[in-house]
Amino acid sequence: MSKTHLKAAIIGGLIVFIWGMFSWMVFPWHQSALHKFTNESDVADVIKDNAPVAGVYVLPNTFSYNEGTSQEEMAKGMQRMEKGPFMFATVRPSGMGKMTMAPFVLGLILQIFGAFIATWMLMQTKGLSFKRRVGFVTLFGVGVAVLGQLPDWNWWGLSGAYVATNMADLIIGWFLAGLGIAKILKK
């Protein structure tokens, strides 16, 4: 690892991180892809009563079936899955806690790590122009978006608006990071 590699990774990660904050805090596009329950208090009470531990929950949870599950129960579960409601949710019964800097610091570290990988991949190429280096890192972002979002859309039913927004966010962020990384990794 060279100083240039590390510098490009830090700059690229910072750019993606700052873009993400800007994207979530300034633009309304993420918020418009998130829906609100009709009565959040009632739903929260039901979740607290039925989700005792933090984790990912699926409704109906046909994945919990095993050899001991009757054919009748399996059929009912599949029918509930077909007719709905279906839910894939992250639940923290005790809440998120007071907002601290920890998630921001971890988020920045994760983006720097991603930029470290993108920079390393870019450094394996030779003779690319500035424009092509930016394109390379942008394509990295397209790969992150496609593989990070579309499987969840396919398998868990995430809405098209939510997935499209997240994909656009990732691609724009990695395009911007590509500008910074390509500038640092001169020919």
Please indicate, yes or no, if residue 46 is contained in any of the structural domains.
Answer: no
Q: Which residues of 123-146 are buried (b: 16+ CB within 10 A; e: fewer)?
A: eeeeeeeeeebbbbbbbbbeebbe
Percentage of the chain surpassing pLDDT 70?
99
The pTM score is: 0.87
Q: Is residue 45 assigned to a domain?
A: no
Provide the percentage of residues in the chain whose pLDDT is more than 90: 75
Gap between the Cα atoms of 105 and 100, Å rounded: 10
Confidence check: pLDDT of 39 > 80: yes
Structure tokens at 155: 């398998």
Per the domain annotation, does 44 fall within a domain?
no
Is residue 164 in some structural domain? yes
* Tens digits of residue pLDDT in 159-177: 999 999 999 999 999 999 9
Instruction: Please give the tally of structural domains in the chain.
Output: 2
Q: Which of 47, 56, 59 is nearest to 93 (CA)?
A: 47
Mean pLDDT across the chain, nearest whole number? 93
- 67 pLDDT tier (thresholds 50, 70, 90): confident
Both 69 and 134 in a single domain? Answer: no
Does 65 fall in a domain? yes
Task: Count other C-beta atoms under 10 Å from residue 168's C-beta.
Answer: 13
Q: Which residues pair with 16 in a beta bridge?
A: none
Q: Which domain holds residue 63?
A: 55-91
User: Does pLDDT of 129 surpass 90?
Assistant: yes
- Output the pLDDT for position 68: 85
Q: What integer pLDDT is reported at residue 5 of this predicted model?
A: 94
Q: Interhelix angle for 102-123 vs 3-25, to 10°?
A: 130
Hunting for tokens 């394109």 — which residue is that? 135
Residues 6+ apart with CB under 8 A from 151: none
Q: Flag whether 135 is in a domain.
A: yes
Mean local confidence (pLDDT), 69-88: 89
Predicted confidence (pLDDT) at residue 183 exceeds the cutoff of 90: yes
Same domain, 11 and 84: no
Do 123 and 170 fall within a single domain? yes
Summarize pLDDT for 91-123 with one digit per residue, the tens.
Answer: 999 888 898 999 999 999 999 999 999 999 999
Q: What pLDDT does 187 receive?
A: 55
pLDDT at site 112 = 97
Please indicate, yes or no, if residue 49 is contained in any of the structural domains.
no
